[in-house]
Amino acid sequence: MREDEAGVWYEFSQRVLLVYPSSFAGSAQSTAAEWVVRDIGAVMAELRSRGVEFEEYDFPGLKTENGLAMIGDSKGAWFKDSEGNILSITEAQAPQSEGDNSPA
Answer yes or no: is pLDDT of 99 > 50.
yes
> Average pLDDT, stretch 76-94?
90
Q: Look at the domain 31-94 and name its fold.
A: 2,3-Dihydroxybiphenyl 1,2-Dioxygenase; domain 1 (3.10.180)
Give the residue extent of every domain in the chain.
31-94
- Give the 3-state secondary structure of 29-86: CCEEEEEECCCHHHHHHHHHHCCCCECCCEECCEEEECCEEEECCEEEEEEECCCCCE
pLDDT bucket at 98, cuts 50 / 70 / 90: low
pTM: 0.73
Q: What is the pLDDT of residues 31-55, one digit of tens each?
A: 888 888 999 999 999 999 999 999 9
